[in-house]
A and B are shown apart, each in its own frame.
With several copies, the nearest count.
Chain A
Amino acid sequence: MPVIEYIEAIRTAMKEEMERDERVFVMGEDVGLKGGVFGATKGLQQQFGELRSLDTPLAESAIAGVAIGAAMAGMRPIAEMQYSDFMFPATNQIISEAAKIRYRSNNDWDCPLVIRAPIGGGVFGGLYHSQCPESVFFGTPGLKIVAPATAYDAKGLLLAAIRDPDPVLFFENKKCYRLIADEVPEGDYTVPIGKSNVMREGSDITVIGYSMPLHFAMQAAEELSREEGIEAHILDLRTIQPLDREGILEAAARTGKVLIVHEDNKTGGVGAEVAAIISEELLYDLDAPIRRLCGPDVPAMPINPPGEKHFMLNKDKLKAAMLDLARF
């Protein structure tokens, strides 16, 4: 299987699905000739024309709202938000509309829409090009939310998202775009929405997370295995709504010591729900308090390099937290 970059996996998923299904199209700011500010839609306009790789006016509520209309009309829009930081103007369309269309119409209407948005920092983007907005949308019934960490999952989950009959927020990590590359099958396959994935087996501690920080966890785990003989069990949630309860409980039970990691700030994040689920179901199987290692409770990371570094998770921070938990 060819090894391709995470962003290439995303691009390929869109391209292949647009070839397969003419209802599928992408829309967003600069997705046309420029191919997106990160290049995720590069070549799509050349191949599919201006309408199916549609440069929109600079207006996110319209991007979401027009996509919702098109989805209700039977199309399969993929709406790109240039940065997830800029999807907040579309909140009302996402939460009040997309999430509630099927429910409020008692299944008469549906909204098969994908909204792609790059999350995460570490690219010197400053406050507004680095955020993780998961906690804002998490907990809104009617939405599905995925956040792949690997190229394989990125392609498979994006194909699943496009084919899903309900609205899916697809949070791609901009730091992963070119840093992460792995084996990705050519052609069609899907990764099921709602299923977590064990990235690494281990018996000492369990790390549960999603997106970029898992790569730090994997690196730290290798070092801890080598240096300390500590074996970490690592679970990639992949889908953050609906959460894979069984997968979470199984992974937590495996070691009895849980560290939850995400880049979104700690309070009110997805990790709180993961902790709550475990403490609701597995309390007596735990050998240590449930810990979370997350972004600090600060509005967003600064652009100056020391400040950014101070804010971001990295392998060393993960390693220290994992070691500390193992020793508990």
Chain B
Amino acid sequence: MTQIGSVRNETRHAALGLTDEKVVRMYEIMVLARKFDERAQLLQRAGKVNFHISGVNQEPAQVAMAFAMDKEKDWFLPYYRDYAFVLSAGMTVKELMLSLFAKGEDPNSAGRQMPGHFGCKRLRIVTGSSPVTTQVPHAVGFALAAKMRGEPSVSLVSFGEGSSNQGDFHEGCNFAGVMKLPVIFVCQNNGYAISVPFSKQSAGRISDRALGYGFPGYRVDGYDPFEVYRVFKEAHERALAGEGPTLVEVMTYRVSPHSTSDNDMAYRTKEEVDFHRGKDAIPAFRQYLEEHGLWSEEREKALLADIRKEIDEATEYGERAPFQPVQDAFRYVYAEASAEEVR
């Protein structure tokens, strides 16, 4: 449905340099991530897995930021709700399922870490941990390495608004600011850190903190993926041009409980949650595509069928796959080859 000339210039995505194929692909990944997440919740409720931590409602922004990045050159340090981000970066649903079932073939950690703890060198996704915000200085280290080696590489690091109150946020941002490093700091402000509302986490805007580090900070509506894309694209360009870091605060809302272990009704109301659920950006994105002749009911049906099949197969595969053998459970504390050989 790509058109030429004047018409193309009128679409929001074309104005942003996004091809029709890309914008369609963005939509497909948003839906894929949503469906994966819903399945994971079901699997947990059915007792098939112990734990899931959900990214529902944050997917459109995650996909938009990922699409602004360079998958071949950049480095990614996502956080535990970034399913849509890592799917955009190339992780497969099967791999996510292997992680959810904590199976040996899981590329993230061979089933050692919790689901949502991403890491995959092949996809330039840097291994992450549970203690929040430690990844922020790591991202700065990747950016420093890029600068030292003269590589055109940007690092992107995600974290929640609660996590932005850790010392490592401050130390990492300041370091990057001083050295004008190519890094994008992404605060996904979803209103809660477990039970603690944003009003008890900080009395300022997270984006305003950038000023004190000498680089730009933006607050952007997470329900507007095009705007998210625009801001990240710009940040990416600034980074590549040697103009230094950018802090982006993506405003969103966590519609799921914190994790499957959490009962969110102890600290917020169903009305509040439903209000935000109603703002879901996925249907709006679909509508946009349809309005521009890029999507249809049939394509939707086909997509859902494909996704269902993919997730079914991945679930089955994940469920059946073996755990890491216990004789390997204690491996890789240190390199197995001697220092001599690795040199």
Contact = CB atoms under 8 A, between A and B. Distances in A.
Contacts of B288: none
Contacts of B134: 65, 92-93, 96-97
Interface stretch (A98-106, A196-204, A225-233): A98-106
B141 A163 contact: no
Interface stretch (A2-10, A55-63, A114-122, A215-223): A55-63
A89 B112 contact: no
A73 interface: yes
Interface residues of B, number: 77
Interface of B is mostly: loop
Interface stretch (A171-179, A205-213, A281-289, A300-308): A300-308
Contact of B335 (A52, A75, A110, A310): A110
B239 interface: no
A69 B127 contact: no
A164 B339 contact: yes
Interface string A265-295: 0000000000000000000000000000000
A57 B111 contact: no
B342 interface: yes
B111 A70 contact: no
A300 B313 CA distance: 32
Interface stretch (A28-36, A145-153, A245-253, A256-264): A28-36
B256 interface: no
A166 B332 contact: no
A37 interface: yes
Given A61-B137, A299-B333, A165 B126 contact: no
Most chain B Cβ neighbours within 10 Å, of A61, A101, A127 = A61
A27 to B, nearest CB: 9
A29 B196 contact: yes
Contacts of A164: 339
A86 interface: yes
Given A73-B141, A97-B138, A193 B339 contact: yes
A73 B142 contact: yes
Nearest to B266: A34
Contacts of A141: 333
A144 B129 contact: no
Given A85-B131, A127-B129, A310 B331 contact: no
Interface stretch (B165-173, B277-285, B303-311): B165-173
Interface string B228-272: 000000000000000000000000000000000110001100000
Nearest to B136: A65
A73 B202 contact: no
Nearest to B334: A166
B152 interface: no
A193 B196 CA distance: 34
A181 interface: no
Contacts of A166: 334-335
A100 B129 contact: yes
Nearest to A166: B334
B329 interface: yes
B165 to A, nearest CB: 4
B286 interface: no
Nearest to B174: A57
B127 A104 contact: yes
B329 A302 contact: yes
B43 interface: no
A107 B137 contact: no
Contacts, number: 261
Interface string A288-328: 00000000111100111111011100000000000000000
A51 B180 CA distance: 13
Contacts of A299: 333
Interface string B161-202: 011011110111011001000000000000001111000111
Interface in B122-174: 126-127, 129-132, 134, 136-148, 155, 162-163, 165-168, 170-172, 174
A62 B104 CA distance: 33
B196 A55 contact: yes
Given A33-B195, A65-B172, A70 B142 contact: yes
A29 B193 contact: yes
A102 B163 contact: no
A311 B332 CA distance: 15
Contact of B166 (A59, A71, A163): A59
Interface string B310-328: 0000000000000110100
Contacts of B113: 104, 126-128, 302-303
Contact of B144 (A69, A100, A142): A69
A33 B267 contact: yes
Contacts of B335: 102, 110, 165-166
A303 B112 contact: yes
B172 A310 contact: no
A184 to B, nearest CB: 21
B44 to A, nearest CB: 12
Given A37-B261, A57-B178, A165-B335, A88 B131 contact: yes
Nearest to A100: B129
Interface string A26-52: 000110111101000000000000011
B324 A304 contact: yes
A170 interface: no
Most chain A Cβ neighbours within 10 Å, of B134, B137, B166, B337 = B137
The 5 closest A-B pairs by CB, nearest first: A69-B141, A65-B137, A128-B130, A62-B171, A69-B138
28 contacts: A37-B261, A55-B200, A60-B166, A62-B140, A64-B137, A65-B137, A65-B141, A65-B171, A68-B137, A72-B138, A97-B131, A97-B134, A97-B138, A102-B334, A103-B332, A105-B119, A107-B332, A109-B121, A127-B114, A128-B114, A141-B333, A165-B334, A193-B339, A303-B112, A304-B103, A304-B104, A304-B323, A307-B112
Given A30-B195, A59-B166, A101-B127, 10 more contacts: A29-B196, A34-B194, A57-B196, A62-B168, A68-B137, A104-B117, A104-B127, A303-B102, A306-B324, A310-B326
